């Protein structure tokens, strides 16, 4: 229904952002809300998916159309709902997830929050060979490991994004550097890094 929402970024929270457009504030759940922290009070474009069921109406938003497409594909997998699909996107890059599905890498897929062996196998059964429209440029070299970011690279990117978000929230370089060694020991999503960092900074 809504292809995207464009407007002033008015609020960033742990689960969603709010974009103001023509006097209306759109609450949009995103995989990693805090990556928008540096864009507060500026105009942003978020690609949205309008989710409707009997007891829920919600907007889910993404930085790219590729993220949005993968989200909608994941919703078609038995056992994965909107929160589960968001958690997968928050923890892994689009190309990483596609690569794992195409290569039937269950051991990688079960690392995502809420994904067990049964759900990982269902993802492969339901989606393998059906993701060309998401990353068509990558499919010719799908089995070339150099095409996709490694888990270590993804973790490093997530950590760097978390650092930027913390600085955008007003924390100094000194404060961030003090807790960085401890955080780097773990492989987390951007949002998870931020939550753990805030727990330590607020002690």
**DSSP assignment string, 30-48:** -S-GGGGGGGTTSEEEEEE
How far is the C-alpha of 158 from the C-alpha of 175, rounded, in Å?
18
Bridge pairing between strands 56-62 and 24-29 = parallel
pTM: predicted TM-score of the whole model, two decimal places: 0.67
Q: Looking at residue 62, what is its pLDDT?
A: 95
Angle at 123 between CA 120 and CA 128, to 5 degrees: 125
Residues 46 and 17 sit within 8 Å (Cβ to Cβ): yes
CATH (residue range 65-147): 1.10.150.20
Topology of domain 4-62 in CATH is OB fold (Dihydrolipoamide Acetyltransferase, E2P) (2.40.50)
Residues 188 and 196 sit within 8 Å (Cβ to Cβ): yes
Residues 47 and 69 sit within 8 Å (Cβ to Cβ): no
Helix or strand or coil: residue 136?
coil
Q: Looking at residue 152, what is its pLDDT?
A: 55
Give CA torsion, residues 41, 86, 152, 94, to 10 deg.
-90
Q: Which of 4, 1, 108, 110 is nearest to 47 (CA)?
A: 4
114-126 burial: b if 16+ Cβ within 10 Å, else e: ebeeebbebbbeb
Domain boundaries along the sequence of the chain: 4-62, 65-147, 151-201
Q: Looking at residue 153, what is its pLDDT?
A: 53
Q: Which residues of the chain have a pLDDT value below 50?
A: 138-148
Query: For 28-136, where are the alpha helices, taking DSSP H only?
Result: 65-75, 82-91, 94-102, 106-109, 117-127
């Amino acid at each position: 229904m809504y292809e995207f929402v464009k407007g002033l970024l008015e609020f960033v929270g742990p689960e969603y952002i709010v974009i103001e457009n023509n006097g209306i504030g759109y609450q949009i759940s995103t995989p990693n809300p805090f990556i928008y922290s540096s864009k507060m009070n500026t105009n942003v474009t978020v690609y949205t998916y309008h989710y409707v069921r009997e007891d829920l109406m919600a907007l889910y938003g993404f930085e790219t159309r590729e993220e949005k497409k993968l989200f909608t594909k994941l919703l078609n997998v038995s056992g994965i709902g909107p929160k589960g699909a968001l958690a997968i996107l928050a923890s892994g890059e689009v190309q990483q997830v596609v690569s794992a599905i195409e290569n039937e890498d269950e051991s990688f897929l079960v690392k995502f929050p809420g994904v067990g062996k049964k759900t990982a196998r269902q993802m492969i059964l339901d989606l393998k060979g059906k993701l060309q429209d998401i990353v068509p440029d990558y499919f010719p070299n799908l089995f070339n490991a150099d095409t996709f970011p490694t888990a270590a690279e993804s973790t490093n990117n997530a950590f760097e994004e978390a650092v930027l978000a913390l600085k955008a929230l007003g924390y100094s370089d000194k404060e961030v550097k003090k807790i960085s060694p401890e955080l780097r020991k773990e492989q987390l999503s951007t949002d998870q890094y931020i939550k753990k960092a805030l727990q330590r900074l607020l002690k």
